[in-house]
Chain A
Amino acid sequence: MAESGNGKPKTELLDELEKGPWPSFVKEIKAASAGNDACDDLLGQLELSYEERRGHWKHGGIVGVLGYGGGVIGRYSDVPEKFPKVAHFHTMRVNHPAGWFYTSEALRTICDIWERHGSGLTNMHGSTGDIILLGTTTEHLEPAFQELTHAGFDLGGSGSAVRTPNCCVGMARCEWACFDSMKLCYELTQHYQDELHRPAFPYKFKFKFSACPNDCVASIARADMSVIGTWKDDIQVDEAEVANYAAAGFDIQKDVCELCPSKAVSWDGKKLDILNSECVHCMHCINVMPKALRPGKERGAVILIGSKAPIMQGALLSSVLVPFVPAEELLDTLKELVTRIWDFWDEYGTNRERIGELIQRVGLPAFLDGIGLDPAPEMVSAPRDNPFIFFQTKEEES
């Protein structure tokens, strides 16, 4: 390997990314190299990628810890002769605490374990939510895992399994939480430990819990099962605070009424009037007048299904499956619904077919029949506009 003279690899291109005001990942890798020289080879290999404009990691291999089928992503260099210290450079996914809350003590515990058993590099956090511990060798996986579980942490999901469920900050620090997203996320994660650690599905299955329609964890775009908080009754209005907003020069007509998607809010200069029966619960008025408006008191969530990134048949957003579930019934409803959905997916899903793509393939009506849910107008943006109805499928049964 080309060396700069002090035993460190030459990193002329990467050094450029130490400049500038935004935090530099190159500085992070160099900092970690003080504790682990694999980081030098990591920089060396990345510099080579920058020079050649191509990646140098081999296709993942099957490595892991005893009894689990996931949680570790095997990673091997395709130029191990140049960079032997990253010949094996596996990733461990560690299930983060719900809401990503930590104490300094908990962070230091993870750091100590990862310094003993890995490169000292992390992602805080990965895209699905896990703590990502980047770079170790096969023989360190099991010891690192045991230290993690004894410290109260466990691996996250990978492969065709339940992926680490994820949620927004919810009731811990947000006035808009319509259900307890952290509690639900934690309880379902514990409930599905077997499905999370031992892949047995056609493909991955993700849960994301956002406690209001602002959807801070992108549940509607990134979860096979999206749970998004909402409310059924009237928006709570503090009239004195509405008056304060107006008095402070906030333009309620322009910034609230005219931007309401269903034109359900009106303002006569004195009183804010909300036609709650036409409110679509978009959150705009509440977002811009947080002191004056709050979600109603009858709270719960919408359950939606099927979102995913483009592989294989194109990206999907989740669509409505259950228009409203009261907050206190969410845990039981989800467990029951998920059992039926997984049964259907096991039966009809093909290899690497996400639940959303299966629904696209067989059609939502057949999926609803399969899981025993009645159709509801909230499930569609409009009824069908073509006349090609398969009448016989449902009629034969009745």
Chain B
Amino acid sequence: MSTTPIMPKRLTDVGPPHYEKYLHPMAKANYGKWKYHESLAPGVLCHVGESGDRLYTVRAGTARLMSVQSIRKIAALADKYCGGYLRFTSRNNIEFLLTDAANIEPLKAELLQIGYPVGGTKNSISSIVHTQGWLHCHSAATDASGIVKAVMDPLYERFTHQNLPGKLRIALACCVNMCGAVHCSDIAILGIHRTPPHVHKDVLTKQCEIPTLISSCPTGAIRAVPGAAKDVEVIDEQCMYCGNCYTVCPAMEMNNPDNDGLSIWVGGKVSNARTAPAFSKLAVPFLPNNPPRWPEVVEAVVKIVDVYAAHARKYERMGEWIERVGWPRFFQLTGFEFTRHHIDDFKHAGLTYARSTHIRY
């Protein structure tokens, strides 16, 4: 960290830079006038303008966590092949924008050489949207980057090839706050706590406002201790381990190495294509935190991907396939145990109870 250059005047509220400053000239020239696109190879797209212009995109996966050293390498590749123009996607991929098709293969070769896989388009697994985990979050029930790395290593070829029935989007959130909003993913990996908060009385008296703390609990499981000036107790059986209390009061510790872990959810989507957007549903209620490679989680996710790949029809997303064949079949094919935890008992629970005799035997 070196010295800051002298700033002439303090600036605030400038907002983000105008996007036009950074737009590829061809994107600017064809803005709103694109005609169609084609997929040339995994990770390679070609957008064709009404003008006849062809803009090529080469998409590469990243770890999302990037050092300035790596970003500079990426910037140098953009200078070499793309006139310096590039973008990122909503799933943390890098997209290099090229006008010369002859640059595609050399760029791909250089990307692979420095460790960036090319792919993530069409019927592949794109990069896993994820959160900070133990690396940088106070409420994490698990790590994020580590599990993503462990899961994507065996699924690498699902990123670099487009051989799945439909697109498959995986997301990971390290607690139910869901900064990674995993709740509408084909496969969601969700960190969960399973024990009520441990109340640190010393912190409680110094740092927390009791009424705010009590009202933060969605199930009313926190109450004042009668007669005590500043104390609360947790009704354990009413706690669903959401951690909302911890967010408003650091005395309510949620971390518990043996009881924190992962749950796996399937069948959600956000796109409106064919079927409506949908939430992911519970597949596996709990798997242990087992760093550095979380083998139980990796095995479950790979199993789901393989079963989906073998059984779904062309274009079917995970949830559409399960909807067609039925949940009993999903549990049978994956071998996951169906337990009482799979049956909803939260708000609107009855809506998921089977209310017909439509049963597949």
Residue positions of A touching B, CB distance < 8 A: 13-14, 16-17, 19-29, 31-32, 34-36, 42, 46, 49-50, 52-60, 65-68, 75, 89, 91, 95-108, 110-112, 114-118, 120-129, 134-135, 140, 143, 146-147, 149-150, 152-154, 166, 168-169, 171-175, 177, 180, 182, 186, 189-190, 193-194, 197, 213-222, 228, 255, 259-261, 280-284, 287-288, 290-291, 294, 309-315, 317, 350-352
Q: Which of A50, A115, A175 has the most CB of B within 10 A?
A: A175
Closest CB in chain B relative to A254 CB, distance in Å: 8
Closest CB in chain A relative to B210 CB, distance in Å: 14
Q: A46-B134, A259-B274, A282-B273 are in contact. Are A17 and B67 (CB under 8 A)?
A: no
Q: A59-B246, A124-B66, A127-B131 are in contact. Are A17 and B146 (CB under 8 A)?
A: yes
B55 contact set on A, CB distance < 8 A: 173
Interface bits B144-188 vs A (CB < 8 Å: 1, else 0): 011011101100100100000000000001001111110110000
- Say whether A111 contacts B72, CB under 8 Å: yes
Interface bits B62-105 vs A (CB < 8 Å: 1, else 0): 11111111111011101100001111111010100100000000
- The verdict on B205 contacting chain A, using a C-beta distance below 8 Å, is no
Q: Which of A34, A123, A180, A189 has the most CB of B within 10 A?
A: A123
Q: Could you give 18 example pairs across A and B, Cβ below 8 Å?
A: A22-B61, A23-B63, A55-B134, A57-B140, A65-B12, A67-B12, A103-B78, A124-B88, A125-B92, A127-B179, A169-B89, A171-B34, A172-B27, A173-B34, A189-B16, A215-B277, A284-B273, A309-B176
**How many Å lie between the Cα of A147 and that of B3 in the bound state?**
11
- The verdict on B334 contacting chain A, using a C-beta distance below 8 Å, is no
- Say whether A197 contacts B13, CB under 8 Å: yes
Q: A54-B257, A175-B35, A218-B181 are in contact. Are A25 and B149 (CB under 8 A)?
A: yes
- The verdict on B238 contacting chain A, using a C-beta distance below 8 Å, is no
- Say whether B136 contacts A314, CB under 8 Å: no
Q: Which B residues, 241 to 273, have Cβ-Cβ distances below 8 Å to chain A?
A: 242-244, 246-248, 250, 255-258, 260, 268, 270-273
Closest CB in chain A relative to B279 CB, distance in Å: 6
**How many Å lie between the Cα of A124 and that of B60 in the bound state?**
13
Residue positions of B touching A, CB distance < 8 A: 1-5, 7, 10-19, 21-24, 27-28, 31-32, 34-38, 47, 55, 57, 61-72, 74-76, 78-79, 84-90, 92, 94, 97, 115-117, 129, 131-140, 143, 145-146, 148-150, 152-153, 156, 159, 173, 176-181, 183-184, 212, 215-216, 218, 242-244, 246-248, 250, 255-258, 260, 268, 270-275, 277, 279, 289, 291-293, 314-315, 346-348
**How many Å lie between the Cα of A76 and that of B360 in the bound state?**
54
**How many Å lie between the Cα of A171 and that of B71 in the bound state?**
26
> A22-B152, A216-B89, A315-B183 are known contacts; what are 20 more A-B pairs with Cβ within 8 Å?
A20-B153, A25-B135, A50-B146, A53-B260, A58-B250, A99-B87, A101-B23, A105-B75, A116-B4, A124-B66, A124-B71, A125-B92, A169-B89, A219-B270, A261-B275, A282-B275, A284-B274, A291-B38, A309-B176, A311-B242
**How many Å lie between the Cα of A217 and that of B89 in the bound state?**
9
- Pick the contact of B87 from A100, A108, A152, A280 — CB < 8 Å? A100
Q: Which of B31, B68, B139, B218 has the most CB of A within 10 A?
A: B68
- Say whether A117 contacts B129, CB under 8 Å: no
- Pick the contact of A23 from B62, B75, B85 — CB < 8 Å? B62
- Pick the contact of B67 from A29, A186, A350, A351 — CB < 8 Å? A29
Q: A111-B71, A122-B68 are in contact. Are A98 and B16 (CB under 8 A)?
A: yes
Closest CB in chain A relative to B138 CB, distance in Å: 4
**How many Å lie between the Cα of A117 and that of B346 in the bound state?**
46
**How many Å lie between the Cα of A99 and that of B213 in the bound state?**
39
- Say whether A101 contacts B279, CB under 8 Å: no
A154 contact set on B, CB distance < 8 A: 12-16
- Pick the contact of A147 from B4, B84, B129, B273 — CB < 8 Å? B4
Closest CB in chain A relative to B56 CB, distance in Å: 11
- Say whether A106 contacts B17, CB under 8 Å: yes
Q: Which of A97, A104, A283 has the most CB of B within 10 A?
A: A104
**How many Å lie between the Cα of A350 and that of B248 in the bound state?**
14
A68 contact set on B, CB distance < 8 A: 12
B19 contact set on A, CB distance < 8 A: 97-99, 101, 172, 182, 186
B145 contact set on A, CB distance < 8 A: 25
A111 contact set on B, CB distance < 8 A: 68, 71-72, 75
Closest CB in chain B relative to A306 CB, distance in Å: 13
- Pick the contact of B218 from A14, A53, A150, A313 — CB < 8 Å? A313
